[in-house]
Structure 1
Amino acid sequence: MSTSKISLCLLLCLSFFTCINSDELQILLNLKTSLKDSKSNIFSSWVSNNHFCNFTGITCNSNRSSVQEIELSNRNLTGTVPFDSICQLQALNKLSLGLNSLYGTISKDLNKCVKLQYLDLGNNFFSGSFPDISSLSELQHLYLNLSGFSGVFPWTSLGNMTNLVSLSVGDNPFHPTPFPNQVVKLNKLSWLYLANCSIEGQIPVEIGNLTELINLELSDNNISGKIPSEIGNLVKLWQLELYNNQLSGKLPVGLRNLTNLANFDASANFLEGDLSEVRFLTNLVTLQLFENQFSGEVPAELGKFKKLVNLSLYTNKLTGALPQELGSWADFDFIDVSENLFTGPIPPDMCKRGTMKSLLVLQNKFTGEIPASYANCLTLERFRVSNNSLKGTVPAGIWGLPKVTIIDLALNQIEGSITKDIENAKALAQLFAGYNRLSGELPEEISKATSLVAIELNNNQFSGKIPASIGELKQLSSLKLQNNMLSGSIPESMGSCDSLSDLNMAYNLLSGQIPSSLGSLPTLNSLNLSENKLSGQIPESLSSLRLVILDLSNNGLTGRIPDSLSIEAYNGSFTGNSGLCSQTVNSFQRCSKKSRISKDVVTLIICFAVGTAILLVAIPCYFYLKRREKDDRDRSLKKESWNVNPFRELILTEDEILDSIKQENVIGKGGSGNVYKVVLSNGKELAVKHIWNADPHGGHRRIRSSTPILGKRAQRSREFDAEVQTLSSIRHVNVVNLYCSITSEDSSLLVYEYLPNGSLWDRLHTLKKLELDWETRYEIAVGAAKGLEYLHHGCARPVIHRDVKSSNILLDEFLKPRIADFGLARIVQSNGGKDTTHVIAGTTGYIAPEYGYTSKVDEKSDVYSFGVVLMELVTGKKPIEPEYGENKDIVIWVCSHFNSKESVLTLVDSSIPETFKENAVEILRIAVLCTARQPALRPTMRSVVQMLEEAEPCNLVGIVISKDGATKKIEGKQSEKINLDS
């Protein structure tokens, strides 16, 4: 070939490669324009006068002529991905865009990237379905987890990817599908992540063919049936995650073969049988099998496991003793074996290496003493051994562990005293040691544990004085010292415990006077000082408290009972104090003039007499004017004889109320009558509910009726009696205040506090809706829950509301909620029986399903109705809407969307900002728990309050990790069983 021809050939080749280089440069610059770099400034090198092989994140082939890899994962990128141009990079074999904020749909142009061996689009915000990628036959690593894809995943396209090593498509709201058979044919797989992607049915026996697997994660699906014994073929497994499914049966024979297994989690299933197969898994680091039905003993071999740091077996039926060497070999982290039937001693050496954080063995049958070794466990944060049969004394150092936040020793047979070491417990928030045999004096040093929120030392043998320094505990909310042998006086300093809400010192030997400083506690709502030797007068300062429970009975108190405490709500609160007197409580002697008349009282009496004289003069004039009015209703009301029954201190007259019972003041209507707004002469606003008593023929008297029923006496409304009985005894910030009742033969009036912002229904379902932002909705949910919690758990006898709904949740001037309308409420009888009725009580859409098959009503019916309210708060929808379909309500509608994350997010009210939608979904999950069809599966209101508080918007943190190239989201798996009802 001539020299000229060779030169021409070289020139053509050079032109060809220059053209290729120019094309690839332009493709990358096009990618740059599609993506935004918010923080890392990664695209600063992506400029036209720089060779594209020098671009950050770009790797070229050996002769720097073509792009082979694009590595832009975890770079804070946003925007859409132009696959139509990217796939023109002919040599591209790696495209890594995971852990960014990319969005949009994925086009079918992805199929043109035929050389791809590595594709990572995980942890992004894509939408729509993922396309068929059958042409990517060279693919070895596919990461699509937590990417936002939905619809039907193209499992069939995996059939061509016989070289696939890593497959991670979990945490996507795909349509439900049986376990994909295409996956078990990929026998080169080493990493398989299919958690939380709507897989149903059973695990196929062919899973045993994937013998190269190192990681297998199938958690958070709807997988049922047994774990196939063929899983024992996967001898290379390092991690096996099967939690939160519906698996049943025993751990399969052959599981013992997985001797390389480090992490095994099959918790929250229906597995049963013993744990014998686990005894061979000597390389285990974490073992979590909680919330199943396992029985039998924990294999002794677990005590020899050299790497085990995390053991969680709570809520099973396990028996026998725990291996005594358990946790003594590695840097042990925590144990939770609560709610089983374990016996024998607590293993002593789990904190041998000084790394343990939680020891949780509550609700078992452990015996022996608390091992002394834990007194030196300075890393311990949670120490819970309650409800066992432990004896002996508490090792002194345990009282003063520097990081411990809870010490729970209750319901054992522990003796000894609380030592001075407690001054070192700077993080201690909860001290539960009730129902033991502890004795001695309470140390003054307890006031140095300044983080204390709850102290429960009731039902022990403590003696001596209550430390005078206890007022230094500024965060203390609950102090329970009842049923001990404490003596001396109640410290005046207790009035400095500004957070105190529950104080119980009953059944002790306390003497002296009740400190007036208790009246300055702003949040105190329960005070029980009964069965002591207290003397002197009841401090007037207690009148300023909003007490739900007050019990001063069986002491040596003398003098006048303050008028504001002489109300029906406190009946029985003062019995057993023979020296007390009262002008209003019939069971006490009348106070003598000497004991009760002062100059101020004389002045008041004179004013009252003058006022009465004026009133007597005004009454004839008043009736004369009223007779001239045409309104039959008003004349009817005035003809009746009224009886005022006060429950709270309030200055008003019958006339001020009766004058306002007219049409123009109606602010609400109900089946039993109207609700009126009343403004007193002093400017105070009230709400008055007017209830006509049921007539003998079963109807209600109409407001225009001016002729009384002749020959029959009208019967008192059962609704009225129920509401008065309930509300008159209740004091809670989230329950509406009832000031008094005014009754006559034909009708009754209930006088409430007026709440200016109407009901939650009005705010959610009328034009006022936009005024409720998400933070306000959350606070309303928590407040209403606390009100119901009090009704169920805080009253002497539980109160069942029976008509919980958004229209019965009223809002004050600060949009704080009050539970209202107790017309259907019933107080549960003290003998444990429940009220029964053959009439379904409540409102359509809120009524629990058990009304259809039982006449018994309990607290769980209220929990169901409250769950509906939570759904209203999150979705903005009414309980009954046409869009739900025929014979369907909001509960069925919400539950039908819980098949995928994307579907759930569509339920959230569009007015809620994007930043709060994940939080709103958390509240919706609580609502679903509350509306479980079986009452036994619903949480208590106490549990609901705790769950809501834990879901506070500022507390929600998402954690995203990457391990061995597979990115995924970890969503805070539960590692401790908390007894929510304790």
Structure 2
Amino acid sequence: MFTSLQLLLPLLLIFLNLLTTVISNDRQILLNFKSSLHYSNSNLFHTWNETNSACTFTGITCNAVNSVSEINLSDQNLSGLLPLHSICNLQSLQKLELGFNSFYGRVSQDIRNCVNLKFLDLGNNGFSGPFPDISPLNKLQYLFLNQSGFSGTFPWQSLLNMTGLLQLSVGDNPFDLTPFPNEVLSLKKLNWLYLTNCSLGGKVPVGIGNLTELTELEFSENSLTGEFPAEIGNLQKLWQLAFYNNSFTGKLPIGLRNLTNLENFDGSKNNLEGDLSELRFLNNLVTLQLFENSFSGEIPIEFGEFKKLVNVSLYRNMLTGPIPEKIGSWAEFNFIDVSENLLTGSIPPYMCSKGNMQALLMLQNKLSGEIPSTYGNCLTLKRFRVNNNSLSGVVPPKIWGLPNAEIIDIELNQLQGSISPDIKNAKNLAQIYVNKNRLVGEIPQEITQATSLVTIDLSENQFSGNIPEGIGNLKQLGSLHLQNNKLFGSIPDSLGSCNSLIDIDLSRNSFSQQIPSSLGSLPALNSLNLSQNELSGEIPASIAFLRLSLFDLSYNRLTGPIPQTLIIEAYNGSLTGNTGLCSVNAIGSFLTCSSGSGMSKDVKTLTICSMVGLVLLLCLTALYLKKKKKKDEKKRFGRGRSLKEESWDLKSFHVLSFTEDEILDSIKQENLIGQGGSGNVYKVTLSNGKHLAVKHIWNTDFSARNNSWSSTPMLAKRGGRNKSKEFDAEVEALSSIRHMNVVKLYCSITSEDSSLLVYEYMPNGSLWDRLHTSNKMDLDWETRYEIAVGAAKGLEYLHHGCERPVIHRDVKSSNILLDEFLKPRIADFGLAKIVQANVGKDSTHIIAGTHGYIAPEYGYTYKVNEKSDVYSFGVVLMELVTGKRAIEPEFGESKDIVHWVHKKAQRKESFRSAVESIIPEIYKEEACKVLRVSVLCTATLPALRPSMKSVVQMLVDAEPCKLVGIVISKDRSGNKIGVNDAK
């Protein structure tokens, strides 16, 4: 008779055998998984081998029966396709954590087999295509897919089975535009919901108020509209609520006062209005961000009693009244930005009482009173900006010496006092703006010890004495404005040691003696204004070598011959008021130099060099034109053949809603909308009503092109019809660009003889059309400004945002396309050059571009870089402001808009007249700011042109003011500090 032990023993052996098999299978599955990965950390998988148990593998956790239950390999620099077909064979797997890696490709349907998963994190990767329906994963409690590259339509319906979901994060993915998903509203256990930047539109349903377990709710950077739902007030457990950068309207709803646990509140960049009274009960707030709305009324006095508050951003609203005196005095307050409102009263004195404040930004209000002396002891302060108010009294001396301050901006006030010697302690100070105040005294010698200074603007005060001799120590100094003071003495020769100087204005003072010749050695100098002083002696020959966009020595006591290179039309008037000057050729009102006062040896040498250089330039130009003439476009091949007779290969770069046949069927004469040197452009209307633009390019050599309509990478290999590998690589790189201001390339369809490139369709054509043709549509200034900023950001992305910089090489108004909302897209990459890692940025050997937009360095070198694009973009800015084309008969023979604008730039009145007459007077000053940016962009020497990053910042600084009655200073708050800026 068998005992019970004897009966159980076979079963136990069977179980152990099965368990051993499962454990062995788990190890093999993991080893297969490892073999499909790319990784750089060799130690990561050191334990992953045939001899170790899977439970000892790094990143692996097993359950009680030694079966793999968790995989945690997040943030390990892994890449490759995700082999879910093997991972989902792990029968006990409950947690899969692979976030913060570089996985790519599509996530396969095999993920549906991971039915026991409770935790899934694929966030922060580089996947593509849509995310699959995961309805079978009904045990999920945590789902993180944010910022992973998924596109198309997200399978919201699959969430209906996941009633136990606690945290859902799918934001920062370029999904198709869709209404706020009602499926989310059934997830009653959610405590964290992150839907930021995932293309949600329409209104937020009132059912959001049913998710009462939420502690974090974010749906910022979408296209949500309507009034903000009052039902949010039901979510009393919330500690974070963010909905910035949407299009919400109306007032903050009654009921927000119930969110007494709220610590972080961000509703910035919407269209909200009304007052802030509903927030006065939220006394646990740590950060409050409501900038760029239309709020009015006073800042609730209760804010001054909030014990946890450390960050406040309320700039660009219409708030009035005083700032609560005790605001920021309780916690380790970090920053406040209430700029560009209508606030009155004084600056609260206690915000740095805990010694942690980094930014005080209150520019462009109506504040009065003195600057509190307490901020002179705020050693952590980096940004102190109170410009354009009505502040008075003496500037606290210790303010000048704040050791961490990067910018001190007090311009456009009624402040008194002097710059104290404490400034020697300001080792991080980069910018100082004190212009248009009532400051007195000498510029202290100690300012030369603030060696990080880039910008000094002390203009329009009552400073006296000399410029400190040691100013040459400021090696990073780029701009020096001391005009309209009471300074005297000589201009220090050491100023010529500041090799970064771009802009010098010492006009309207009492400087005397000679102009130091060292100024002529400044390599980057673009603007020099020494007018209305008492300078004497001859003009240094070295000055004549400079190539300046602004040059003014008028109304001094200069004598002797005028260097020949300064006698040009662009500098007309820049030497008037110097009765002792003479010229060899008897120009204008100047006396003719006598034989004894003829050209000096230096001037003669300069004249000869200039003539030789001119002859050389003419020879090079003639050679270029001769070579260009020989490059006739070859006769196109195969015009009569049916496209469908060819064999085509489709390569998609986005999820496609159309077929190859739909595109091929539309390439016919009646759909032709444009022609260019490298192919024809067709408008394609899909069955769903959507429009596309398709460019048909024959695989032949088109090294020189005319105007074309759309973005077109060169398809041809030089000298033949076969596509080059370089073309494939370049198209692939350009197709990876994802930027709202660069035209979207959906796919390429290629055959042996020709290729098709399929783009998004731009219904408003090009900027050229809107400015210059019969389709001209009057563009108001705000629209022009938005086009300028958007196009600049697109170029900035190409130059600085791509893994390998892209040089466009054909920037012009006809290659800036406009969508249905007149938002710009950079297009036509037919001449673009992607900078290879092993090739210098300036290594490209094709004459490229369009007459009128081509940078002058093309005349003497083939080596061009991003600065050539900057020049061309400067021409576009000139078109936007003046309304004129790049080449106009009125500019004169061999002259273009750049020459015309630079000439206008010599006189303020003349410069203002360059602005197109249809732009209202209220915007003329902002238009002039943009035109000044264009002058910098079109400097003759590439090194003098700003980068596109700098161009974007300068354009942001020139934004038109939307608040009537507010005077805009020249330096707007371009570097806001806030929660959003850190994201």
Aligned to 1:63: 65
CA distance in 2, matches of 1:654, 1:24: 79
Counting only pairs closer than 5 Å after superposition, residues 529-548 of structure 1 correspond to structure 2 as 529-548=530-549
Aligned to 1:851: 776
Q: Deviations over 1:75-113 (max 9, x none)?
A: 222233332333233322222222222223222222222
Counting only pairs closer than 5 Å after superposition, residues 65-144 of structure 1 correspond to structure 2 as 66-144=67-145
CA distance in 2, matches of 1:908, 1:233: 57
Q: Higher mean Cα deviation, 856-865 or 218-227?
A: 856-865
Q: Is residue 650 of structure 1 aligned with residue 652 of structure 2? A: no
| SS across alignment from 1:851 | coil
Counting only pairs closer than 5 Å after superposition, residues 788-803 of structure 1 correspond to structure 2 as none
| SS across alignment from 2:560 | strand
Counting only pairs closer than 5 Å after superposition, residues 201-220 of structure 1 correspond to structure 2 as 201-220=202-221
Unaligned runs of at least 5 residues, structure 1? 605-645, 670-756, 779-839, 882-886, 953-972, 978-982
Counting only pairs closer than 5 Å after superposition, residues 174-189 of structure 1 correspond to structure 2 as 174-189=175-190
CA distance in 2, matches of 1:435, 1:268: 32
Q: Deviations over 1:260-316 (max 9, x none)?
A: 111111111111111111111111111111111111111111111111111111111
Change (3 A) 1:846 1:576: closer
Amino acid of the structure 2 residue aligned with 1:337: V
CA distance in 2, matches of 1:760, 1:857: 31
Aligned to 1:414: 415
Q: Tell me if structure 1 keeps the 8 A contact 2:107–2:127.
A: yes
Amino acid of the structure 2 residue aligned with 1:650: M
CA distance in 2, matches of 1:53, 1:563: 85
Amino acid of the structure 1 residue aligned with 2:304: G
Q: Tell me if structure 2 keeps the 8 A contact 1:179–1:203.
A: yes
Shift of 1:843: 5.1
Q: Tell me if structure 2 keeps the 8 A contact 1:67–1:92.
A: yes
Amino acid of the structure 2 residue aligned with 1:52: A
Q: Tell me if structure 1 keeps the 8 A contact 2:713–2:832.
A: no
Q: Higher mean Cα deviation, 51-60 or 906-915?
A: 906-915
| SS across alignment from 2:591 | coil
Aligned to 1:454: 455
CA distance in 2, matches of 1:659, 1:975: 48
Change (3 A) 1:891 1:82: same
Shift of 1:910: 10
Q: Tell me if structure 1 keeps the 8 A contact 2:790–2:824.
A: no
Q: Tell me if structure 1 keeps the 8 A contact 2:713–2:830.
A: no
CA distance in 1, matches of 2:344, 2:353: 22
TM-score, reference length from structure 1: 0.68
CA distance in 2, matches of 1:868, 1:74: 30
Shift of 1:411: 0.5
Q: Deviations over 1:617-639 (max 9, x none)?
A: xxxxxxxxxxxxxxxxxxxxxxx
Counting only pairs closer than 5 Å after superposition, residues 143-158 of structure 1 correspond to structure 2 as 143-158=144-159
Amino acid of the structure 2 residue aligned with 1:320: G
CA distance in 2, matches of 1:647, 1:282: 76
Change (3 A) 1:573 1:87: closer
Shift of 1:560: 2.4
Counting only pairs closer than 5 Å after superposition, residues 100-499 of structure 1 correspond to structure 2 as 100-499=101-500
Q: Tell me if structure 2 keeps the 8 A contact 1:773–1:912.
A: no
Q: Tell me if structure 2 keeps the 8 A contact 1:864–1:932.
A: no
| SS across alignment from 2:437 | coil
| SS across alignment from 2:272 | strand
Shift of 1:60: 2.3
CA distance in 1, matches of 2:119, 2:830: 36
Q: Deviations over 1:795-815 (max 9, x none)?
A: xxxxxxxxxxxxxxxxxxxxx
CA distance in 1, matches of 2:538, 2:614: 31
CA distance in 2, matches of 1:389, 1:279: 28
CA distance in 1, matches of 2:229, 2:577: 69
Q: Higher mean Cα deviation, 455-464 or 587-596?
A: 587-596
CA distance in 1, matches of 2:951, 2:728: 18
Change (3 A) 1:190 1:449: same
Q: Is residue 550 of structure 1 aligned with residue 551 of structure 2? A: yes
Change (3 A) 1:156 1:875: farther
| SS across alignment from 2:592 | coil
Change (3 A) 1:896 1:52: farther
Number of residues paired by the alignment? 749
Between Structure 1 and Structure 2, whose CA radius of gyration is higher?
Answer: 1
Q: Is residue 20 of structure 1 aligned with residue 42 of structure 2? A: no
Aligned to 2:901: none
Aligned to 1:743: none
Q: Higher mean Cα deviation, 84-93 or 300-309?
A: 84-93
Q: Tell me if structure 2 keeps the 8 A contact 1:878–1:890.
A: no
| SS across alignment from 1:152 | coil
Q: Tell me if structure 2 keeps the 8 A contact 1:845–1:890.
A: no
Of residues 580, 586, 589, the one that matches 1:587 is 589
Q: Tell me if structure 1 keeps the 8 A contact 2:403–2:425.
A: yes
Shift of 1:868: 11
Shift of 1:845: 8.8
| SS across alignment from 1:231 | helix
| SS across alignment from 2:471 | helix
Shift of 1:477: 1.6
Change (3 A) 1:153 1:437: same
CA distance in 1, matches of 2:33, 2:555: 83
Q: Deviations over 1:629-677 (max 9, x none)?
A: xxxxxxxxxxxxxxxxx999425999998999899848579xxxxxxxx
Q: Tell me if structure 1 keeps the 8 A contact 2:809–2:831.
A: no
Amino acid of the structure 2 residue aligned with 1:45: T
| SS across alignment from 1:391 | strand
Q: Higher mean Cα deviation, 78-87 or 240-249?
A: 78-87
CA distance in 1, matches of 2:472, 2:458: 17
Q: Deviations over 1:35-76 (max 9, x none)?
A: 344216232222333232233322222233x22222222222
Q: Deviations over 1:297-340 (max 9, x none)?
A: 11111111111111111111111110111111111111111111
Change (3 A) 1:875 1:209: farther
Change (3 A) 1:10 1:456: closer
| SS across alignment from 2:611 | coil
Amino acid of the structure 1 residue aligned with 2:331: A
Change (3 A) 1:465 1:654: closer
TM-score, reference length from structure 2: 0.68
Q: Deviations over 1:15-41 (max 9, x none)?
A: 333333333333233223233442162
Q: Tell me if structure 2 keeps the 8 A contact 1:894–1:907.
A: no
CA distance in 2, matches of 1:100, 1:226: 39
CA distance in 1, matches of 2:792, 2:385: 31
Aligned to 2:637: none
Change (3 A) 1:331 1:501: same
Amino acid of the structure 1 residue aligned with 2:471: I
Counting only pairs closer than 5 Å after superposition, residues 752-767 of structure 1 correspond to structure 2 as none
Q: Tell me if structure 2 keeps the 8 A contact 1:327–1:350.
A: yes
Counting only pairs closer than 5 Å after superposition, residues 701-780 of structure 1 correspond to structure 2 as none
CA distance in 1, matches of 2:311, 2:782: 42
Q: Higher mean Cα deviation, 3-12 or 344-353?
A: 3-12
Q: Tell me if structure 2 keeps the 8 A contact 1:365–1:388.
A: yes
Change (3 A) 1:865 1:417: closer
Q: Higher mean Cα deviation, 9-18 or 501-510?
A: 9-18
Aligned to 1:831: none
Counting only pairs closer than 5 Å after superposition, residues 789-938 of structure 1 correspond to structure 2 as 851-853=776-778, 863=788, 870=795, 890-892=817-819
Amino acid of the structure 2 residue aligned with 1:347: P
Q: Tell me if structure 2 keeps the 8 A contact 1:863–1:941.
A: no
Percent identity at matched positions? 52
Q: Is residue 511 of structure 1 aligned with residue 515 of structure 2? A: no
CA distance in 2, matches of 1:236, 1:302: 21
